[in-house]
Amino acid sequence: MDQPLVSIIVPVYNAANHIARCVDSIRKQTYKNLEILLLNDGSSDVSLQVCQMYAKVDERIRVISRENQGVSATRNEGIRLARGRYLQFADSDDYLAPEATELLVEAAQEHQADLVIAPYFRVKQVNRLELDGINKKETVELNGFLAPGFYDKTEFAVHLMDQPASFFYGVMWNKLYRRELVLEHAIACSDELDWCEDLLFNLEYIRYAERFAALSTPVYYYIKNPDSLVSTKMRFRNAASIMATRATLFSYYKKLYEDLGLYEENRVQIHKYLVAVADDA
């Protein structure tokens, strides 16, 4: 198999407790032709020093440090600096399965896909009271909604409506993107949203992508942590704010399906997005 360069973009913010696990999982990928972009977003802990340590022992790693600007701006900077044919994303508190990149690239090459999507594991951390005190346990659940294989744009869009608010379709870290398509259409993460910015990026990308592929093998371990950035942001969302964000995203959904000539037949399901709940949110 041809091994084109893959750029893996990792925003890092106060991630000292878990960045090593994330970076190690990327360094140990069975697919070796990687560019690993660690973007320190103004961390106040030792995250930057840890990233710099890794850069000294792995020439594939590039460390970029900047003042805090948020995850969207940081990802956009990673996209701007990336040199790979494909883009892959990871969050610093999560980690990749050993064959994640290899499986994603194989599917992209086999199907000439613009977007590859894969199931993922949700790792839920639970505090349980035991005789000797509090002990953290982890439960792992498989998440994925799409049968493996090739999909054209219409087929993919129809399946997207099955779970319009799901992490499976909404997030960026269980997918592989073609960088040329992102640059050609100036697709970027929104600085105006601090919630669901992944989904907005994906809806824009799907507008221009034509060929899609789905995997059956999970490629990512998402840590469901009550102290994570996503969970923290959600605790400060009120109902009005959530509905305002959903209304913004709904307009993108509506435009996408109108352009595909699928809006009228999916009108009811598309409107369900306004009240749908992501099982990981």
Q: Which domains does the chain have, with CATH numbers?
A: 6-272 (3.90.550.10)
Q: How far apart are CA 238 and CA 242, in angstroms?
A: 6
More confident residue, 258 or 145: 258
Q: What pLDDT, on the 0 to 100 scale, is given for residue 236?
A: 47
**How many other CB atoms sit within 10 Å of the CB of residue 12?**
26
Closest to 172 (Cα-Cα) out of 149, 197, 192: 197
Lowest mean pLDDT among 35-44, 53-62, 176-185, 196-205: 196-205
Q: What is the mean pLDDT of residues 185-207?
A: 85
**pLDDT band for position 163 (cuts 50, 70, 90):** confident
More confident residue, 163 or 150: 150
Q: What pLDDT, on the 0 to 100 scale, is given for residue 232?
A: 47
The answer, yes or no, to whether residue 155 has pLDDT greater than 50, is yes
Q: How far apart are CA 109 and CA 1, in angstroms?
A: 8
The answer, yes or no, to whether residue 274 has pLDDT greater than 90, is no
What's the pLDDT tens digit per position in 170-179? 999 999 999 9
Q: How far apart are CA 73 and CA 11, in angstroms?
A: 10
CA distance to 229, 249, 253, per residue, from 205 (Å): 24, 14, 12
Q: What pLDDT, on the 0 to 100 scale, is given for residue 241?
A: 62
Q: How far apart are CA 130 and CA 137, in angstroms?
A: 11
The answer, yes or no, to whether residue 51 has pLDDT greater than 70, is yes
Phi, psi of 214 (to 5 degrees): -125, 145
Q: What pLDDT, on the 0 to 100 scale, is given for residue 269?
A: 76
CA distance to 101, 119, 250, 269, 280, per residue, from 276 (Å): 31, 20, 12, 10, 12
Which percentage of the chain shows pLDDT scores above 90? 63
Mean pLDDT (the chain, rounded): 86
What's the pLDDT tens digit per position in 83-139? 999 999 999 999 999 999 999 999 999 999 999 999 999 998 655 554 444 445 566
Q: What pLDDT, on the 0 to 100 scale, is given for residue 234?
A: 46
Q: What is the mean pLDDT of residues 183-197?
A: 82
CA distance to 111, 132, 194, per residue, from 127 (Å): 43, 13, 28
More confident residue, 214 or 231: 214
The half-sphere exposure of 3 on its side-chain side, counting CA atoms within 13 A, is 8
Which percentage of the chain shows pLDDT scores above 70? 81
Q: What pLDDT, on the 0 to 100 scale, is given for residue 133?
A: 46
**Predicted structure pTM score:** 0.88
Q: What pLDDT, on the 0 to 100 scale, is given for residue 227?
A: 53
Q: What pLDDT, on the 0 to 100 scale, is given for residue 16?
A: 95
Which tokens is 40 given? 């320190």
More confident residue, 129 or 162: 162
